[in-house]
Structure 1
Amino acid sequence: MIRNLLRSCLAALLAATSLLPTAASAAADGRQGAVRPDPIVFVHGWNPDTSPWETMAGRFEADGWPTSHLDQWTYNSTQPNATTAARLADEVERVLDLTGATKVDVITHSMGALSSRYYLKNLGGAAKVDAWVSLAGPNHGTDIAQWCGGAPCIEMRPGSDFLSALNSGDETPGSSRYATWGSPCDSVISPKSSVALSGAVNSTTACLNHSALRTDQTVYGEVKAHVR
């Protein structure tokens, strides 16, 4: 009887031990399967400097976004916004294929708001974009565009055919989560009311210049909370 009891105890011990690798593997699989944040596609504005998104992208990386999920996209800002929107559609598909994600977040500055909105409204982008952000976007035009030439500048002028079509009907179509940030001290966007969109979460920043909306720590924190 004692011998049988010892055998039973030994069998139970071996069975329990055999479960340990499985549990460890499950824990590892859980870590590997943790949900990653959506990839972010950054869209700059007209005539940007050489690295407009380094500060914000660096903060996202420090807060846990993989580098593969931070796409500082660049494009020819002298082309019409509809052309840029088509290029953006290709870029989003590239990022989705690269990361295996089903949607991206899009963070824009200035004129970048217009091409990305065209993509969401007219090129199926609303199905591919979870959160959309406009920092200092001339969503209803800006008077300063009267002083520059070329197709995108003409399109940025208040009342342009491009903006009239873009803002007709629903300004925030689809299920994407829209948010805008505008500064009362932005000398590039005039009138200041141009930034806000019907149906979006619209925020007013502290007294920041046009470019500072990309680098301000408070704005970053609010944008990060939105894209999450």
Structure 2
Amino acid sequence: MRGKRLFVTAALTAATALPLTAAPATAAAHDPVIFVHGWNGSASNWNDMIGDFKADGYTDDELTAWNYNTAQSNKTTAEELSAVVDDVLAKTGAAKVDIVTHSMGGLNSRWYLKFLGGADKVDDWVSLAGPNHGTTSADACFDASCTDMRAGSEFLTTLNDGDESPGATNYGTWWSTCDGTINPADSTIVSGARNTQTGCISHLGFLTDDGVSQDVRTFVS
């Protein structure tokens, strides 16, 4: 009997210990949000919008403003973004993230969603003033990323071939005829997305406009 009692005690101890060693990360209260800036931008572009998200109850752990090399190919950036998403999911315990982008950030993130499995990991995707079908502004720049942004480029032809908004991800775009950088302005529109034409907002104005910020927070909530 004594041996049997020892066996049962040891089994209960092991069963109790297992969940402690295998417990996953605690799930976030919201989908974590990853902010992806545009060409020649930086993570600081998002300071105003991140402040708005925090005022709505998001924590620092749920908000990631990501810096990357904007001169490199958008395909390379998409691969780097894939690692960032996986890292955020692991740290937060969330099932999916939301991605909010400005300008060229819409291109590398869409490549990630369409070709690198991102559509299974991204709940909501936002493109603010994105050159989703090209912009003449890129004709004056010769970085690899600028070549990607030119209308009719191999990158955009591949990205926009077939379904422009694949998977279960919710796609949303915001664009303005006063943009001045995305030419034509309606290049931002993505088939299958919720496409919103705003009032007269400049290209950089999308980053600080209160109405756009509120709309984005509502979209990803």
Residues in 2 aligned to 1:50 and 1:124: alpha-carbon distance in whole angstroms: 24
Kindly provide the amino acid, as one letter, of the partner of residue 167 in structure 1.
Answer: N
Residue of structure 1 equivalent to 2:133: 140
* Equivalent AA in structure 1 for residue 125 of structure 2: W
Matched, 1:202 2:174: no
1:165 aligns with 2:154: no
- 1:77-136: CA deviations, max 9, x gaps? 111000000000000001011111010000000000000000000000000000000000
Detail structure 1 runs of 4+ shifted over 3 Å in the superposition.
none
Is this contact kept in 1: 2:138–2:147, CA < 8 A? yes
Structure 1: state its 5+ residue gaps: 1-32
Structure 2 distance, partners of 1:191, 1:108, is: 19
1:144-159 equivalent positions in 2, closer than 5 A: 144-159=137-152
Residue ranges of structure 2 left out of the alignment (5+ in a row): 1-25
Deviations 1:135-165 (A, max 9, x none): 0000000001000111100110000010000
Q: Distance in 1 between matches of 2:27 and 2:70?
A: 37
**What is the distance in 1 between the residues matched to 2:61 and 2:27?**
16
State the alpha-carbon separation in 2 of the partners of residues 206 and 100 from structure 1: 38
Instruction: Please report the TM-score for the alignment, with normalisation by the length of structure 1.
Output: 0.84
> CA separation of 1:128/1:34 partners in 2, compared to 1, >3 Å: closer, same or farther?
closer
Q: 2:213 aligns with which of 208, 212, 220?
A: 220
- The amino acid across from 1:69 in the alignment is E
Indicate which of 163, 186, 190 corresponds to 1:193: 186
1:168-192 deviation line (CA, Å, top 9, x unaligned): 0000000000000001101100001
Alignment partner of 1:86: what SS? helix
**Selected match of 2:38 from 45, 48, 51:** 45
Alpha-carbon RMSD across the aligned residues, in angstroms, is: 1.3
Match of 1:58 among 51, 63, 67: 51
**Higher mean C-alpha deviation, range 208-217 or range 123-132:** 208-217
